[in-house]
Amino acid sequence: MALGAACISASAILIQLAGTGPATTAFYRCLFALPVLIPLLVLEQRRRGPRPLRARLAAGAAGVFLAVDFMLWNHAITALGAGVATVVGNLQVLFVALAAWALFKERLDRNFLIALPVVMAGVVLVSGLVDTTTTGIDPLAGIGYGVSTSLAYAGFLLIMRRSAARTPHVAAPLTEATIGAGVTAVVLAPLFGGLQFATGWPALGWLLVLAMSSQTVGWLLITSALPKIPAAIASLLLLLQPAAAMVLAAVVLGERPSLAQVAGAVAVCGGVVFASRATGRDRPLPTAEPVAAAGLSERLRPIVHE
């Protein structure tokens, strides 16, 4: 999950370098990822069999939320500025934790509750909000975009986690979600500034890199990890993205982080490590292969469970 967060941390930089609109960016990052994901899906199905229709439909529905997240996040950055939009757009950790507790009865670990305010404070520092006085061109609309982005992201993570947990597949749910996101981007394009099919280079090159690094490698790692850890911890681990993005921005764009941003990065990483390690000690290991577990004798099952 941490490696996946590191991969998707380059998304904002690549989107900025591409300079395309929200719907265009969402569509092309999905389109360019499919030639890699579809062969992986075929190979995976030959090895592990097809996924149930219900699981495939759920992954497609998760893709709808992902597309909305992509497009609203771009608008939040424009309206609020990058600093505030980063903070508001990362509220998904609150929504995921509360939804997992309310809907799926997942216990909120005490160490998670201790780490959460530390991590959120770190996100505020990393975003640069403390060091800037600008409030963007439309703060009220930006807050709406940012909160909506967090809700869409939380919906994607929760639905995707449930879909991936039903089967041992990794490439299949991500491919289905990517197709759902691409189709949704086309359908909703008129509401988000339109879709520019005639996009030239170097914009397409940056979108291709975005598709390979984030939409493919990054989300393959995240999808494989989602069913194995609690939803709240998964969402918290994804907050490593702003800290990693700060390092990448310094290398690629020449941005130099302030002392407050460095302190925020330390707080984010430290809080995530504390919450994830503490929860991991209290949580039983998941059964990776239900078929293999079913082949064990009744006498051995209690031992395996413990």
Q: Which residue has the tokens 């991936």?
A: 164
19 sits in the region (left: phi over 0; alpha: psi -120 to 50; else beta) called: left
Q: What is the pLDDT of residue 40?
A: 93
Give 183-242 pLDDT, tens digit per residue: 999 999 998 888 888 788 888 999 999 999 888 998 889 888 877 877 777 777 777 776
Q: Which of 101-105, 124-128, 170-174 has the least mean pLDDT?
A: 124-128
Give 59-112 pLDDT, tens digit per residue: 999 999 999 998 888 887 777 665 556 666 666 777 777 787 777 777 777 777
Residue numbers of the domain that contains 16: 2-108+135-228
Q: Which of 170-174, 182-186, 244-248 has the highest mean pLDDT?
A: 182-186
Q: Which of the four pLDDT bands, split at 50, 70 and 90, describes residue 253? A: low
The count of other CB atoms within 10 Å of the CB of residue 122 is: 25
Number of domains in the chain: 1
Give 265-297 pLDDT, tens digit per residue: 778 777 766 776 654 444 443 433 333 333 333
Domain contains 265: no
Domain contains 162: yes
Give 133-168 pLDDT, tens digit per residue: 444 566 667 777 877 888 898 889 888 888 877 778
Cα of 84 vs its chain's centroid, Å: 19
Is 44's pLDDT higher than 80? yes
Q: What is the pLDDT of residue 38?
A: 94
Domain contains 266: no
Domain contains 18: yes
Q: Which residue has the tokens 């499919």?
A: 34
Mean pLDDT to the nearest integer, 113-130: 76
In 3D, which of 209, 216, 289, 213 has the Cα closest to residue 39? Answer: 216
Domain contains 69: yes
Cis ω on the peptide bond leading into residue 202 (within 30° of 0)? yes
Domain contains 79: yes
How far separated are the first and last CA of the chain, in Å rounded?
25
User: Can you give the length of the chain in residues?
Assistant: 306
Q: What is the pLDDT of residue 231?
A: 73
In 3D, which of 52, 50, 21, 45 has the Cα closest to residue 186? Answer: 21
Domain contains 306: no
Angle (deg, nearest 10), helices 240-252 and 259-282? 140
Q: Tell me the two tokens of residue 170.
A: 């990794």
Domain contains 183: yes
> What letter does residue 50 receive in the DSSP assignment?
P
pTM listed for this prediction = 0.73
> What letter does residue 52 receive in the DSSP assignment?
P
229 close to 157: Cβ distance less than 8 angstroms: no
Nearest-angstrom CA–CA distance, 11 and 91: 18
Q: What is the pLDDT of residue 194?
A: 83
74 close to 22: Cβ distance less than 8 angstroms: yes
